[in-house]
C-alpha cells in the first residue's frame, strides 16, 4: 500500500477519480489520510481500531480545514483512543446533547410519517402551547423535577386528562429518542426518560371516564329535533349533518370514520360499508340495517362528490360542530359526537348482544383475550345484532322510513 507525505501541495494536485473514492494515506502519522471522491470532495480522515473494530473518523473537508489543522485533530483523537476514550461515541454524545425538544420532535415526525394527521396536530398543539417554553431546551436539560413541577402546575389550570396528555406526549418523544439515537456500540444516547418520575411518585392524575349518553327516554325528543333541523334549517350543512348524526348513532362509528365515508366503500348490493382508515389501523366492514340503507339511498340522490356526507366547501362534512351546537340547543340535550358512539355501545350491551360481537361492530382491539382470537365475526354474522340495535332506535326515536324517501 502506497503512502505519501500529506501536504498542501499534494492535496492540491490530487485528481478526482472517475467513479467511487480513492484514499491517500500519510507515511508519517499512521491512520491519517485524504479521501478523494468522484463528486469532487477532498476530506481528511483518521482510521483506527476502536474496541477491536476498524473505525473511520471524518476530520473535515479541504480547504475548509488545512492539512495542519487536520493533522492536529487526528493526533488529538489518537491521544483519546490511547487513553481508552472512544472519540466517535464522544462526538455522537455531544451531538445528541445539543438537540432540542423541537428538533427531536421534527425527527419523530419524519421517522413516524405513517401516523394519522390528527396525531401530529395534537402533539404540536401541546408543544406550541403549555410546553412552548421547553421547545428550544436541550432534551438533556429537561429534568425529572421539571416534569413533576409542570405536571402539577397543569393540574391546577387544566383538566386531569389535559395534564396527563401533555406529559404522555413528552414521554413519547423521549421514548423515540431512546430508541432512535444510539452510539456506534448500540447504546442509547438518551437512556433516561424524565417523565418516569410521575410513575415513580404515582403522580399521574386519575381521569374520570366519560359516561354521557343519550338516554332512551330522550331519544324521541332528540330525533324530533334532528328531523326538524334536517327539513327546516336553512343551512345546507345542517341538512347533511342530520343524516350524518343519525348514521353515527346507528353504526357506532367515530366522528371522522363516518364523515370520510366514500361511495366507493358503500356496497348496497351486499348491504355493507367498508372503513379502510380507522383509529386502530384495522379496516372495518359493517353490515347495514334497514334504516342505514334508507339513509344511504336518500343521500345518493343528493350526491355531489365522492363522499356520502358531502360538503360544497370541504368535499366531506369536515366541520360539523355548528350543526351539533344547533341540535343541542334545539333539543335541550347535551351530547357530543363520541356520545353517539357511547350510546350505540350501551344500547348493544342492554340487548344482551355478545361482547365479542359488540367489539367487532365498534372495531375495538381484542387485547389479551385468547378466546376471542378463535371467534370469526364476519359482517354476515354481525347483520342480525346490527338490525336489533337499529330496531331499538327505531322504536325509541320513532323513526319512520318514509322520512328517507327522496323528495
Residues 243, 181 share a domain? no
Average pLDDT over residues 60-81: 89
**Does residue 123 sit in the same domain as residue 242?**
no
Residue 257 lies in a domain: yes
- Which residue, 85, 114, 138, sits at the end of a domain? 85
Does 143 share its domain with 275?
A: no
Length of the chain, in residues: 407
Cell, residue 81: 483512543
Nearest-5° angle of CA 361, CA 364, CA 367? 135
Residue 350 lies in a domain: yes
pLDDT higher than threshold 60 for residue 202: yes
User: What is the structure's pLDDT at 224?
Assistant: 95
Residue 395 pLDDT > 90:
yes
Q: Which residue has the cell 495542519?
A: 68
For residue 96, being part of any structural domain is answered with no
Query: What's the whole-number mean pLDDT along residues 364-372?
Result: 55
- How large is the average pLDDT for residues 196-211? 86
Same domain, 121 and 74: no
Whole-number pLDDT of residue 168: 95
CA-based radius of gyration for the chain? 31
Confidence of residue 377 (pLDDT cuts 50, 70, 90): low
Residue, of 386 and 58, whose pLDDT is higher: 386
Confidence class of residue 90 from pLDDT cuts 50, 70 and 90?
low
371 and 248: one domain?
yes
User: What percentage of the chain exceeds 90 in pLDDT?
Assistant: 62
* Average pLDDT score over residue span 316-339: 93
Q: Are 235 and 382 in the same domain?
A: yes
207 assigned to some structural domain? no
For residue 286, is it within any domain? yes
Query: Would residue 237 count as lying in a domain?
Result: yes
Last-in-domain residue among 52, 85, 118: 85
Distance separating the N- and C-terminal Cα atoms of the chain: 90
Does residue 224 share a domain with residue 195? Answer: no
Answer yes or no: is pLDDT of 272 > 80: yes
Confidence label for 190 from pLDDT (cuts 50, 70 and 90): confident
In a domain, 210, yes or no: no
Question: Is pLDDT at 373 greater than 60 in this prediction?
Answer: no
Residues 286 and 261 grouped into a single domain: yes
For residue 47, the domain's CATH number is: 3.30.160.390
Q: Lowest-confidence range among 175-179, 338-342, 402-406?
A: 402-406
Query: Residue 365 pLDDT more than 70?
Result: no
The set of residues, in sequence order, having a beta carbon less than 8 Å from that of 224 and lying 6+ positions away, is 331, 398
**What pLDDT, on a 0 to 100 scale, did the predictor assign at position 322?**
92
48-52, 169-173, 285-289: least confident range: 48-52
Q: Predicted confidence band at 87 (pLDDT cuts at 50, 70, 90)?
A: low
- Reported as a pLDDT band with limits 50, 70 and 90, residue 375 is very low
pLDDT for residue 156: 93
* Mean pLDDT, rounded, for 236-244: 91
Asked if 298 contacts 247 with a C-beta cutoff of 8 angstroms, the reply is: no
For 152-177, the pLDDT digits (tens) are 999 999 989 899 999 999 999 999 99
pLDDT band at 143, cuts 50/70/90?
very high
User: Whole-angstrom Cα distance, residue 117 to residue 318?
Assistant: 14
The enclosing domain of 258 has a CATH number of 1.10.443.10
> Minimum mean pLDDT among 61-75, 281-295, 324-338, 370-384: which range?
370-384
pLDDT at 371: 44
Range of the domain at 322: 216-404
Question: Would you say 229 and 242 are in contact if contact means Cβ atoms under 8 Å apart?
Answer: yes
- Select the more confidently predicted residue: 80 or 328: 328
Mean pLDDT estimate for the chain: 88
Residues 78, 12 within the same domain: yes
pLDDT at 357 over 80: yes
Given a cut of 50, is residue 372 above it in pLDDT?
no
The whole-number average pLDDT for the span 48-52 is 80
Q: Are residues 235 and 380 in the same domain?
A: yes
Query: Would residue 92 count as lying in a domain?
Result: no
What's the number of domains the chain is made of?
A: 3
Listing DSSP states for 173-238 in one string gives HHHHHHHH-B-TTS-BS----TTHHHHHTT-PPP-PPP-----HHHHHHHHHHHHHHHHH-S-HHH
Are 107 and 225 in the same domain?
no
Q: How far apart are CA 27 and CA 1, in angstroms?
A: 10
Q: What is the CATH number of the domain that holds 120?
A: 1.10.150
- 254 plus 117 within the same structural domain: no
Amino acid at each position: 500500500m502506497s503512502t505519501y507525505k500529506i501536504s498542501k501541495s499534494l492535496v492540491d494536485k490530487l485528481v478526482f477519480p472517475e467513479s467511487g473514492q480513492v484514499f491517500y494515506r500519510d507515511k508519517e502519522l499512521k491512520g491519517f489520510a485524504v479521501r478523494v471522491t468522484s463528486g469532487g470532495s477532498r476530506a481528511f480522515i483518521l482510521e483506527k481500531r476502536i474496541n477491536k473494530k476498524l473505525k473511520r473518523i471524518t476530520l473535515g473537508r479541504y480547504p475548509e480545514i488545512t492539512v495542519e489543522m487536520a493533522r492536529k485533530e487526528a493526533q488529538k483523537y489518537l491521544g483519546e483512543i490511547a487513553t481508552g476514550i472512544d472519540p466517535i461515541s464522544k462526538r455522537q454524545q455531544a451531538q445528541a446533547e445539543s438537540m432540542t425538544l423541537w428538533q427531536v420532535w421534527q425527527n419523530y415526525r419524519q421517522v413516524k410519517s405513517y401516523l394519522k394527521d390528527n396525531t401530529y396536530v395534537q402533539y404540536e398543539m401541546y408543544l406550541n402551547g403549555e410546553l412552548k417554553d421547553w421547545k428550544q431546551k436541550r432534551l438533556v436539560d429537561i429534568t425529572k423535577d421539571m416534569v413533576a413541577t409542570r405536571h402539577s402546575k397543569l393540574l391546577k389550570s387544566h383538566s386531569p386528562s389535559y395534564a396527563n396528555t401533555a406529559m404522555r406526549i413528552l414521554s413519547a418523544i423521549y421514548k423515540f429518542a431512546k430508541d432512535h439515537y444510539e452510539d456506534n456500540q448500540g447504546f442509547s444516547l438518551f437512556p433516561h426518560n424524565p417523565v418516569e418520575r410521575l410513575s415513580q411518585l404515582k403522580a399521574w392524575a386519575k381521569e374520570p371516564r366519560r359516561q354521557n349518553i343519550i338516554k332512551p327516554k330522550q331519544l324521541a325528543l332528540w330525533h324530533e329535533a334532528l328531523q326538524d333541523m334536517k327539513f327546516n334549517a336553512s343551512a345546507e350543512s345542517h341538512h347533511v349533518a342530520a343524516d350524518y348524526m343519525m348514521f353515527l348513532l346507528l353504526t357506532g362509528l367515530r366522528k371522522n370514520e363516518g364523515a370520510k365515508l366514500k361511495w366507493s366503500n358503500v356496497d348496497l348490493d351486499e348491504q355493507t360499508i367498508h372503513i379502510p382508515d380507522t383509529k386502530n389501523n384495522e379496516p372495518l366492514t359493517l353490515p347495514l340495517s334497514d334504516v342505514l340503507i334508507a339513509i344511504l339511498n336518500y343521500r345518493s340522490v343528493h350526491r355531489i362528490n365522492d363522499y356520502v356526507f358531502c360538503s360544497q366547501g370541504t368535499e366531506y362534512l369536515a366541520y360539523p360542530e355548528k350543526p351539533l351546537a344547533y341540535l343541542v340547543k334545539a333539543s335541550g340535550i347535551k351530547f357530543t359526537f363520541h356520545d353517539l358512539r357511547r350510546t350505540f355501545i350501551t344500547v348493544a350491551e342492554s340487548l344482551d348482544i355478545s361482547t365479542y360481537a359488540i367489539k367487532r361492530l365498534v372495531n375495538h382491539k381484542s387485547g389479551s383475550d385468547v378466546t376471542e382470537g378463535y371467534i370469526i365475526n364476519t359482517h354476515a354474522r354481525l347483520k342480525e345484532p346490527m338490525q336489533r340495535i337499529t330496531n331499538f332506535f327505531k322504536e325509541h326515536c320513532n323513526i319512520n322510513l318514509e322520512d328517507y324517501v327522496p323528495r
